[in-house]
């Protein structure tokens, strides 16, 4: 599965994160380290060292107390404060001081890297120019985005980013929509087609009538949704917080017992470093941020970590049919001649002429089929619509009928032995008292739908079902073509909701895929609601838990692959980054193999492992399980 090429973040991105507060923190670390060095050399007295330690501890104590008071949370800050205080009381001045400096450095790096991961969201998705060339009163002027109004015509040339959402009013161009939809191939834009802010004109030039600008654009909504997504904690993240809360009293009891047995303050300080359960909280946030940003780059919007985890655990996917698995519009699928003296091309040409003036969707399908073949359509001279039956027209000095079998029977035309097909719609063409042929029309499948469903099953989905309001025969035909495990037909929206609930009652974790509007009840009750084709549709963008910016069904497979990789990464972080390192550290401390300083240095290990393992989600190749080599 191809993914769009994303320009790397600017080289000064890291410097942009260095706020005034962070420079003060750097100064605090440097000053504290310098004081410790001078004390260890006998240059400074102990009171100065203690003052430096108080200076270094101040932000940790402040944050720790605020978390304790407002969130009832004991974090790394409290543990470090306790560890340093115990070291001082036990006379381990240098060890306690070095511990403090190393922890301050680790906390600073972790905080900076978390913000860097969040900042990468915009770098991955792209950016929008802050000025635009606007045509007003016959003149072309450059304006800031804040000065552009709805209705203004913006001029965008090759190589430039489109600054607004709008409709093309002039020109034609190939536009790279990867920042919004994740499509790897540029899309051709002609007058009347929509364009999105943040996308790039690869070739050509466009005059775009502004419809949305600034915070109202699809790009801005995507940025806002992705930036807010990590606020919704995944269950595994909440579990880590609960476990941390349970472990805290256990840890202090354990340390008290060790102290009563050994009376070794140095050992207690060392153990404090490795028994801090607050590090469990570092195992998930970075993963969620990275995975959500990665999905956004592919045109998949995940509304929060909770939905990412649920998507990874889903074992049944229910698809709406019309507009999701199919295009939602009829197309001519087969032409059958009943009069062998007429060719298929001629039959199709006559049918288009007969239906030319009709506004019925079936008539449009026939006309579109002829236009696609480049056949000239004749113009009828008379046109009469017979409700529930068809049309009667005069065409090239002959009277023609087009409609259902009942229409032909009522007009004395006997050749209707084919009957009506329940799994598709048929239109009979007749003239001069005999049937000439029949056109078979059916809703057509989206490209890649069958392959996507097969890939979902290969990824671990136990069942794939289809929900449709169409007749059972139509649903069964399409379901069989796609390899569906079960088809539920003749459903109203409320009935779809009940089907989802019944499937959940059977023990399945259900994802529902629909258009985000008509299927809203079913989308809401499923564990994960997935809306397709959400680009430019605010209701769909905001209705579902996961929004696919295009109608590409393969994106569901990619979304699930990202979710599964993220969940696996969290497990790796918890097991290796926290579990293994901390268990080994506690063991080494109890065996007197390491002291506080070594423990503080080793303490950097979990943070580095968690960070590296998490941010790799931004760049690692992610494929469905069936094709993944690793």
Residues carrying an active site annotation: 320
- DSSP states along 529-572: EEESS-TT-HHHHHHSSEEESSS-THHHHHHHHHHHHHHHHHHH
584-598 in b/e burial notation, b at 16+ Cβ within 10 A? ebbebbeeeebbbbb
Return d(Cα 439, Cα 421) in angstroms, integer: 11
The 3-class SS string of 44-88 reads CCHHHHHHHHHHHHHHHHHHHHHHHHHHCCCCHHHHHHHHHHHHH
Of 290, 222, 182, whose CA–CA distance to 555 is shortest? 182
Whats the size of the chain, residue-wise?
Answer: 630
List of residues 6+ apart from 165 with CB closer than 8 A: 194, 195, 196, 197, 210, 211, 212, 213, 216, 217, 218, 219, 536
Return d(Cα 75, Cα 597) in angstroms, integer: 20
Burial class (CB in 10 A: 0-12, 13-18, 19+), 5: exposed
The pairing of beta strand 486-488 with beta strand 463-467: parallel
Return d(Cα 483, Cα 357) in angstroms, integer: 39
Q: Which residue has the tokens 């549709």?
A: 537
List of residues 6+ apart from 173 with CB closer than 8 A: 156, 158, 188, 189, 201, 202, 203, 204, 205, 206
C-beta of residue 279 within 8 angstroms of C-beta of residue 103: no
The 3-class SS string of 111-161 reads HHHHHHHHHHHHHHHCCCCCEEEEEECCEEEEEEHHHCCCCCEEEEECCCE
- Largest Cα separation within the chain, whole Å, is 116
Q: How far is residue 71 from each of residues 74, 229, 281, measured CA to CA in Å?
A: 9, 20, 14
Return d(Cα 567, Cα 465) in angstroms, integer: 25
C-beta of residue 496 within 8 angstroms of C-beta of residue 519: yes
Helix 235-262 / helix 305-313 crossing angle, nearest 10 deg = 100
Question: What end-to-end distance do the CA atoms of the chain give, in Å?
Answer: 16
Quote the radius of gyration of the chain (alpha carbons, Å). 33
- DSSP states along 238-256: HHHHHHHHHHHHHHHHHHH
C-beta of residue 432 within 8 angstroms of C-beta of residue 439: no
C-beta of residue 53 within 8 angstroms of C-beta of residue 92: no
């Amino acid at each position: 599965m191809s993914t769009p090429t994303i320009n790397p973040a600017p080289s000064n991105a890291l410097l942009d994160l260095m706020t005034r507060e962070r420079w003060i923190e750097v100064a605090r670390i440097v000053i504290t380290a310098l004081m410790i060095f001078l004390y260890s050399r006998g240059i400074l007295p102990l009171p100065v060292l203690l003052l430096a330690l108080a200076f270094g501890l101040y932000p940790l104590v402040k944050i720790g107390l605020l978390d304790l008071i407002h969130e009832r949370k004991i974090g790394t800050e409290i543990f470090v404060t306790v560890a340093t205080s115990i070291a001082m009381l036990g006379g381990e001045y240098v060890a306690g001081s070095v511990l403090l400096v190393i922890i301050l450095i680790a906390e600073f790096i972790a905080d900076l890297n978390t913000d860097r991961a969040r900042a990468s969201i915009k770098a991955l998705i792209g950016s929008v120019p802050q000025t635009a060339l606007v045509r007003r009163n016959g003149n072309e002027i450059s304006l800031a985005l804040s000065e552009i109004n709805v209705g203004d015509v913006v001029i965008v040339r090759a190589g430039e980013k489109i600054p607004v959402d709008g409709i093309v009013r002039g020109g034609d161009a190939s536009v790279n929509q990867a920042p919004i939809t994740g499509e790897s191939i540029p899309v051709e834009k002609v007058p009347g087609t929509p364009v999105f802010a943040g996308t790039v004109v690869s070739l050509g030039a466009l005059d775009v009538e502004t419809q949305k600008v600034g915070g109202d654009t699809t790009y801005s909504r995507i940025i806002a949704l992705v930036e807010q997504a990590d606020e919704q904690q995944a269950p595994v993240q909440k579990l880590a917080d609960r476990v941390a809360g349970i472990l805290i009293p256990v840890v202090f009891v354990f340390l008290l017992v060790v102290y009563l047995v050994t009376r070794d303050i140095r050992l207690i300080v060392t153990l404090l470093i490795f028994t801090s359960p607050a590090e469990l909280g570092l195992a998930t946030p970075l993963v969620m941020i990275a995975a959500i940003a990665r999905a956004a780059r592919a045109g998949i919007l995940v509304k929060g970590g909770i939905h990412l985890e649920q998507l990874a655990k889903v074992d049944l996917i229910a698809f709406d049919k019309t507009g999701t698995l199919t295009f939602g519009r009829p197309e001519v699928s087969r032409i059958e001649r009943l009069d062998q003296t007429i060719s298929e091309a001629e039959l199709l040409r006559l049918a288009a002429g007969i239906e030319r003036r009709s506004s019925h969707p079936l008539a449009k399908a026939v006309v579109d089929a002829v236009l696609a073949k480049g056949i000239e359509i004749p113009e009828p001279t008379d046109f009469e619509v017979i409700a529930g039956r068809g049309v009667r027209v005069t065409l090239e000095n002959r009277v023609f009928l087009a409609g259902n079998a009942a229409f032909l029977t009522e007009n004395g035309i006997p050749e209707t032995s084919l009957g009506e097909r329940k799994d598709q719609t048929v239109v009979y063409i007749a003239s001069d008292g005999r049937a000439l042929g029949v056109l078979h029309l059916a809703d057509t499948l989206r490209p890649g739908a069958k392959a996507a469903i097969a890939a979902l099953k290969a990824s671990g989905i136990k069942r794939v079902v289809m929900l449709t309001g169409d007749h059972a025969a139509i649903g069964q035909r399409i379901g069989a073509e796609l390899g569906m495990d079960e088809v539920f037909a003749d459903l109203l929206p409320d009935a779809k909701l009940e089907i989802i609930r019944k499937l959940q009652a059977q023990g399945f974790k259900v994802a529902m895929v629909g258009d985000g509007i008509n299927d809203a009840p079913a989308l809401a009750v499923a564990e994960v609601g997935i809306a397709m084709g959400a680009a430019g549709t605010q209701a769909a963008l905001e209705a579902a838990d996961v929004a696919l910016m295009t109608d590409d069904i393969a994106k569901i497979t990619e979304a699930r692959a990202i979710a599964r990789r993220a969940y696996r990464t969290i497990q790796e972080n918890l097991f290796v980054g926290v579990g293994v390192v901390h268990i080994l550290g506690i063991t080494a401390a109890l065996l007197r193999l390491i002291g506080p300083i070594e423990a503080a240095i080793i303490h950097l290990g979990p943070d580095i492992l968690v960070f590296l393992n998490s941010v790799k989600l931004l760049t690692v190749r992610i494929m469905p399980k069936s094709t993944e080599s690793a």
